[in-house]
Chain A
Amino acid sequence: MKSLAVKNLKGRSVRTAVLMTLAALLSFTVLGGTLVVRSLDKGLVSLKARLGADVMVVPKEATMKKKFEDMILQGTTGYFYMDMSRAEEVMEREGVGQVSPQFFLASTSSSCCSIPVQLIGFEPETDFTVSPWIKRTYGGQLGFCDIVAGSDLNVFVGDKLSFYGVECTVAAKLEKTGTSYDTTVFASGETVKELIRSSLEKGMNDFADIDPERSVSCLMINAADGTSPEELVNDINIHVKKVKAYKTGDMIKGISDSLGGVSRMIGLLIAAVWVLGIVILSLAFTMSVNERRKEFAVLRVIGASRGSLAGLVLKEALLTCTLGSLAGAALGLLVLLPFNGFIEETLALPFLLPGVGSIAGFTAGAVILSVLSGAAAAAISALRVSRIDTGLILRGDN
């Protein structure tokens, strides 16, 4: 019977190809949509983890240009500074728990990259946001002029890179985060201060009159026990001049909202394609069975039971949908895996593909769901075939 199903499918190659294409469309849409939504979710989780602090404090002028948010969320390069005295004022506020400064600079160009890269310096002694993440790929202590490169930068461990004439060594390369940090270079605060100093000497820094030793770009703060991030943000914004405090949760709220919108849209698309696919598959199976009524009657005459006729229809549907679904899933992976960077750029949202195991799971799920849908669409036709009145069909053929 299985070979009969295969021969029937081969014998009606156009119909089989159409049914396979529909099944492929179902699995492609489900797998593609699911992977995009999960990648966006994971990207957001990754971004939250990378921010790693309750509150960020930046100079007020940075917020005027929206440069700060763009740097964190969109991956544009930039830098700004506030005087250490402002930072000290913030640090002295009640409710400040852990605190650590960061130092920003953007490269002009480097051998690693065709575009400028963002440089972020942190203080290893006080840092609680970048270090835990770097430790996952680099267990050592970053020395002076050692750098850690984001995953998308075209460098290898041990490479030498020159920024503003200062040669730095790549000590480690980070895991992919799906955020703007993938194109960022991290180094100790002392290293970045040296690079700032060099950029000033070469007249290549927008801030000509800053003292690198007395300047910081931002403060990463965790609220002390008993103080909420909201209270701390309000307190800093009211009492410390020329700075702006942000609750990190609020910063990514816009992204979270956009992501929700994109996810809903993809969900609707999947549902629409799904419903349409099942309706068309049902119609196609019904038409096919109607067209072959005489043939099924002949099989009954030869000795096929009602159950085996229904089984034949289901086998044909399962074979068609399995092959189609596998092809659709393969196409989905071929589109998504190599082009995930392009998708990230197009959506302008954090985008981090799930791990290999999860992708395999989603792929299997999409294929199984698509095959089961095809089987469900064929079930009505199978039921109809099992109830055909052989005598009536053969009589009606006269």
Chain B
Amino acid sequence: MELRAEKIYRDFIRESRSTNRFTAVKETSMLLAPGKLTVLMGRSGSGKTTLLNMLSGLLCPTGGSITADGQDLYAMSDKELSRFRNLHMGVIPQGQTAVHSLDVRENILLPFTFYGDVPDEKQAQELMERLDIAHLAAAMPSELSGGELRRMAIARALVRRPELIFADEPTGDLDDENTAEVFRVLKEYAAEGGSVLTVTHENDAKSYADVLLTMSAGTVSQEIV
């Protein structure tokens, strides 16, 4: 699935400042193409997460449009967009994102529960094994380390085999070995036809990128890989 952003930008209101409007992401156009791993790098506060949230249908841009295979995301109703995200997007947000009343397996299978879909237990098992958390399937999130929780979130984002993957600092709590494994997983996912965007600080990510973008003060620039 191809995701195209046309002249999108995002303003925020800061009531505590004298200049109360600021632009977190300046006018940007970009394409997430199938089969490509796009890596977005930049300093903290440069607007990376805001851009990722707009592209993943979580934050309406102030202007511009985002289409997925020609479908305007923000022209959809909330119900349609939610279902679209459920079926076609896998989002790995920053930080710890476990649902604490569910065990690891249930957390991973959570995307199947909202619309009564049959859970893909086999895919969940494969992902857990691939991410080395299979032995924690029945563990509760409170029993997991930060790195294990991140791997669980990655498995949850991939379990429905969505065409679009958005990963916001997916390796934040991981050691070098696991960081490399996560990028390998994302790279393979892209190679199998997925459109993958990952926001990261890891310099190592450059070596996996098909498309490398940098962001500074709300402006996106493409780097040569």
Known interface pairs A11-B100, A294-B97; A302-B53 also in contact (CB < 8 Å): no
Q: Would A398 and B114 count as touching, CB distance under 8 A?
A: no
Q: Would A3 and B79 count as touching, CB distance under 8 A?
A: no
Query: Nearest Cβ distance between residue B102 and chain A, in whole angstroms?
Result: 6
Q: Would B95 and A303 count as touching, CB distance under 8 A?
A: no
- A-B pair number, CB within 8 angstroms: 94
Q: Name B85's contact: one of A294, A301, A389 (CB within 8 Å).
A: A301
Q: Would A301 and B100 count as touching, CB distance under 8 A?
A: no
Within 8 A of B (CB), among A367-398: 389-392, 394-395, 397-398
Query: Nearest Cβ distance between residue B91 and chain A, in whole angstroms?
Result: 5
Q: Across the interface, which residues of A come within 8 angstroms of B221, CB to CB?
A: none
Query: Nearest Cβ distance between residue B50 and chain A, in whole angstroms?
Result: 7
Query: Chain B 143-172 against A: per-residue CB contact (8 Å), 1 yes, 0 no?
Result: 000000000000010000000000010000
Query: Nearest Cβ distance between residue B140 and chain A, in whole angstroms?
Result: 8
From A13, which residue of chain B is reached at the shortest CB distance?
A: B101
Bound-state CA distance A303–B117 (Å) is 12
Q: Would A394 and B156 count as touching, CB distance under 8 A?
A: no
Bound-state CA distance A391–B93 (Å) is 10
Q: Would A1 and B99 count as touching, CB distance under 8 A?
A: no
Q: Across the interface, which residues of B come within 8 angstroms of A299, CB to CB?
A: 99, 110, 114
From A7, which residue of chain B is reached at the shortest CB distance?
A: B101
Known interface pairs A7-B106, A11-B101, A295-B100; A301-B79 also in contact (CB < 8 Å): no
Query: Nearest Cβ distance between residue B115 and chain A, in whole angstroms?
Result: 8
Q: Would A298 and B93 count as touching, CB distance under 8 A?
A: yes
Q: Would A1 and B113 count as touching, CB distance under 8 A?
A: yes
From A395, which residue of chain B is reached at the shortest CB distance?
A: B49
Known interface pairs A3-B113, A7-B101, A302-B111; A394-B58 also in contact (CB < 8 Å): yes
Query: Nearest Cβ distance between residue A43 and chain B, in whole angstroms?
Result: 49
Interface size class of B (residues with CB under 8 A): 20 to 34
Q: Would A303 and B114 count as touching, CB distance under 8 A?
A: yes
Known interface pairs A11-B101, A394-B53; A306-B58 also in contact (CB < 8 Å): no
Query: Nearest Cβ distance between residue B146 and chain A, in whole angstroms?
Result: 13
Q: Name A1's contact: one of B56, B97, B114 (CB within 8 Å).
A: B114
From B110, which residue of chain A is reached at the shortest CB distance?
A: A302
Q: Would A394 and B49 count as touching, CB distance under 8 A?
A: yes
From B45, which residue of chain A is reached at the shortest CB distance?
A: A398
Q: Would A390 and B95 count as touching, CB distance under 8 A?
A: no
Query: Nearest Cβ distance between residue B202 and chain A, in whole angstroms?
Result: 16
Q: Would A306 and B78 count as touching, CB distance under 8 A?
A: yes
Query: Is B136's beta carbon under 8 Å from chain A?
Result: no
Q: Across the interface, which residues of B come within 8 angstroms of A308, CB to CB?
A: 82, 114
Q: Across the interface, which residues of A come within 8 angstroms of B79, CB to CB?
A: 305, 307
Query: Nearest Cβ distance between residue A1 and chain B, in whole angstroms?
Result: 6
Q: Across the interface, which residues of B come within 8 angstroms of A391, CB to CB?
A: 50, 53-54, 58-59
From A389, which residue of chain B is reached at the shortest CB distance?
A: B59
Query: Is A65's beta carbon under 8 Å from chain B?
Result: no
Query: Is A268's beta carbon under 8 Å from chain B?
Result: no
Q: Would A394 and B113 count as touching, CB distance under 8 A?
A: no
Query: Chain A 88-104 against B: per-residue CB contact (8 Å), 1 yes, 0 no?
Result: 00000000000000000
Query: Is A214's beta carbon under 8 Å from chain B?
Result: no
Q: Would B100 and A398 count as touching, CB distance under 8 A?
A: no
10 A-B contacts (beta carbon < 8 Å): A11-B102, A297-B93, A298-B93, A298-B98, A301-B56, A302-B86, A302-B111, A394-B58, A394-B93, A395-B49
Binding site for A on B (CB under 8 A): 44, 49-50, 53-54, 56, 58-59, 78-79, 82-83, 85-87, 91, 93-95, 97-102, 106, 110-111, 113-115, 156, 168
Binding site for B on A (CB under 8 A): 1, 3-4, 7-8, 10-12, 294-295, 297-308, 389-392, 394-395, 397-398
Nearest 3 Cβ contacts at the A-B interface: A303-B86, A11-B101, A391-B59
